[in-house]
Structure 1
């Protein structure tokens, strides 16, 4: 539940780019990596405008951002389009109020509405399971681009009968 805060969630607009950069910069300890990654994804083929979500306060000020974008799962000669969640950030002054969770829930709802079967992330193993994420490797997925423990490479399977398995590959925008 969001603590005494009236927030709205909407799709990012072009005029939000500077505020989005600042939100990630502040939330990640004044480092630019996540902010620059969001900028690269925004200009890539994997960007989905309706899945780049902004949380605003009642006065319209931006307080959070979650970026859901395209990636692929590769299984030999088969390629499947999937969604990855990264980055997600809430202004430090507004953290621990449910805003990040609201962004995640809305992003998952919209991803499912648009016919996506899987959303992947690398994240904290005690936070994301409450949104339906679980370790991905037991479901037949692998990740070779990042060396991470099994419990932080997670998937939310939106369509149980998809039959997808294979290696998750993040697009180049995550690495430049």
Structure 2
């Protein structure tokens, strides 16, 4: 029986990768949701409120098979802490469940730590992101940019990249202008 796992590398994305990244998003999320995510990705690129931005791709045989984007965020009223928002993460369906998404997350978190980021937030599937160290943010007094429905409260998560920062601050997370639209915060 052959192993389906692929050989891939993770590197920083460039503007030349954008078309392939959009194709991965459309494949991963389907037409309707994928188009909305592509639109968000496209709007975040020139958004100065999203800077500094970290965009990574997983490349297999010169083809992009995964992408992750981290954009700047901050916690109000806290001014001493650097934060980032993870959104979106996409892996081509033919390459899912092979560790690519996890590698994009762990590589991104390591790079953000080196850049001085203290915490990273995500609105996503709790069972998936908890495997990578994310915990419910609302329980720690860190609210999302828009209210999260109670049934989805566990999907708003945070991970501290430096010890001792969770629990020391409370407040509301503010993110890039392009992702502030309430439609991105509802299920």
* Equivalent position of 1:27 in the other structure: 28
**TM superposition outliers: structure 1 runs of 4+ over 4 Å:** none
Task: Note if 1:134 corresponds to 2:135.
Answer: yes
Cα deviation 1:2-49 (Å, max 9, x = unaligned): 953111000011100111111111111113111111111111121435
Unaligned ranges ≥5, structure 1: none
- 8 Å Cα contact 1:23/1:63 also seen in 2: yes
Bigger share in helix: 2
1:175 is displaced (CA, Å) by: 4.3
Unaligned runs of 5+ in 2: 182-187
Is 1:95 aligned with 2:91?
A: no
**Scaled by the length of structure 2, what TM-score is found?**
0.85
In structure 1, what is the equivalent of residue 109 of structure 2?
108
Within 5 Å, which residues of 2 pair with 1:16-165? 16-31=17-32, 32-45=35-48, 46-49=50-53, 51-57=54-60, 59-75=61-77, 78-79=78-79, 80-148=81-149, 149-162=152-165, 163-165=168-170
Measured on the aligned residues, the alpha-carbon RMSD in Å equals 1.8
Q: What is the TM-score with the length of structure 1 in the denominator?
A: 0.90
Q: Distance in 1 between matches of 2:51 and 2:148?
A: 24
Task: Report how far residue 113 of structure 1 moved.
Answer: 1.0
Q: Secondary structure at the match of 1:155?
A: strand
Higher strand share: 1
**Offset at residue 147 of structure 1 (A):** 2.2
